[in-house]
Structure 1
Amino acid sequence: EPLKILQVTKLYTPWIGGVERIVQELSEGLRNDSRFDVRVLCVASRGAGSSQIINGVPVRRSASFGILFGMPLSLSFFLDFRRAVSEVDIIHFHEPFPLATLAWFFFRPRKKIIVTYHADIVRQRILFPLYRPFLFSLLRAASFISPTSPVLQSYSLTLSHFPEKLRPIPLGIPLRKFSHLTERHNELLGKLKERYGAGPFILFAGRPAYYKGIPTLFEAFRGIPARLILLGVSESDVTIPSAVRPNLIFTGKVSDEDLPAYYHFADFFVLPSTKPAEAFGLVQVEAMAAGLPVINTALPTAVPWVSRHNETGLTVEPGNVSELRGAILTLLTQPKLRESFACTARERANLFSSDRMISDYAKLYESLF
């Protein structure tokens, strides 16, 4: 009989975010393995609850009043949690998710627990002392805690209290999706070239969150002889300086299926994040798999570990406009350096495959019994 596993996460596809994509990859990958029976419990970003099957994975979405301080407000989640955990062998929490932590604390189900620890709480850290006892209670009950990188394992003060439980498992994506173009991608690539011309093009991808460093990027881009593609961003999402407006391309929402074409259209990638809330930067792996050099920032997180300075791209100080501008100009004017970084980037991307991530978690699950 397959092991029944409940993935407990804040939000789930079609909501776009790094954690949401990882949970989807993990759930769908495990669903294809006869040893496991996987289902997902999450919260609606707002509105009524629902139950549905998404790509073969049963998903229960609890009703929500909305999101406050990054956390969904839901009462029905507690009832859904109690019902869902009664039917499974393993509860896999994706933290930080205070609502789920509180639900576990109140009900204390006698189940095997694994926690994937995606990041420390950054923006709401003033509230962390209130949350800390509940989180530590969950982490003490967990059989294993999986930080998403060795870097997170080393710098997180929270994780330092549980060294014997730590089993770092780096995040992974379906690399072939970004390294090999389909006929559909080639058609879209042709349309992009026809519409925007020869370039050069620099790519940013992600939500316009406060920590992404988009204002810094705009300042650094003044006078740069290239065009900046903001993948997944609309003009209404950001404040645009008039000096750079003519050089910006806003794609708005792009389907997951079409993403690879934009990576192959660009000359290199930039992730100018300014705050440690950027814990990993999964979009870097997408860029590297597509053969793009990466400019990132020296955050005290896994970001500069994923793409390494002078190996797969360049790393600059967070929020430093002149350094970011210099790195952009360096890659624009040195095509041989870009080619060297691109080659190394493709190789390093292999460390972050979803197949490896899924296999590592499968071994972790089976080791519990």
Structure 2
Amino acid sequence: MGTILLVFFIFVSLVNLIYFFSFFSFSTSGLKNKLHPELPVSVIICAKNEEENLKNFLPSILEQNYPEFEVIVINDASSDNTLEVIEEFQKIDPRIRIVDVQNNEAFWANKKYALTLGIKKAKNQHLLFTDADCAPQSKNWIKEMSRNFQPGNTIVLGYGGYFQHSGSFLNKLIRFETLLTAIQYFSYARLGSPYMGVGRNLAYTSSQFYELKGFANHLHLRSGDDDLFVNEAATAENTAICFHPDSITRSVPKNNFSEWFHQKKRHVSVAGNYKTKHKILLSAFYIFRVLFWLLFAALLILQVYPKIALSILGIKLITEAFVYFKAADKLNEKDVVWLFPFLDLFLIFLQLVIFISNLISKPKHWK
């Protein structure tokens, strides 16, 4: 029995290692010099009750070092002074264009409806998306993201991180989970199977949007304007990734666990609509992580080949540390990876709780 348990543990460990070896495709990749034609760009921001965030972060968009761009700010039926704030900015900077969305009974609280109206308003073919609570970390954000619209590329996946709050475990957990997600979607894209992007930092062409008939195939779902669109539209041939330090955006993280938990519930509920191959790969990644720790604990408790189990754990942690530290260095998240074994375990447990919670009750609104 002990030998069978060990053999199963070794098999599970190998699968875990294969996943992280595949992540080398991103963690060890370097930046490539690319021609920059400086294409006209439309930056699109969807704002719902975001008056304070717009005051804080919209200036960082307007200060971009880029020759030709417009900023389309969508007021998605806000109940605060979001519209008034946008109008004040427009008086100062004519590059701002406003889309004022009223509640529509057929599309109540549907961000995709608001985004569609904003995309239709855009005068430029190349669209760059971010959120109202996001700030580019450089004045060259538009330049670096749009640089990746090389011939044939219609989708650019960027990194949208979160601001650091020192001393907060929740902040480190949020940023570690964001880092792990980025490692996955960047690596899959590098390997020719892009499956998602984040709306905090995502670009695609209007022709790609209209070719896919926008969000039509998942308009009935409240979430997924970013990852479901990418999952449906992205291919090995039309997708580029951008992780240049100047291309990073950062957002305001949730400041309490309950809000973040409900945000993750919404994100996880959407993943069930990914392509089958991506659902299998992502599910297997989670299942084999769970199995590893369960089998490792069983071998130690039963005192079955404990030295071998600890040696395999060491190999696993060294491999993962290499991936995390290299990726964190690229994305400026180095302070969170020192705790990665503990954060990883916590995430595994949390994802199980989220899965069970979504079986009981699924979120319906984006805000």
TM-score (norm 2): 0.31
More helix by share: 2
Higher RCO structure, 1 or 2 (CA under 8 Å, sep 6+): 2
More strand by share: 1
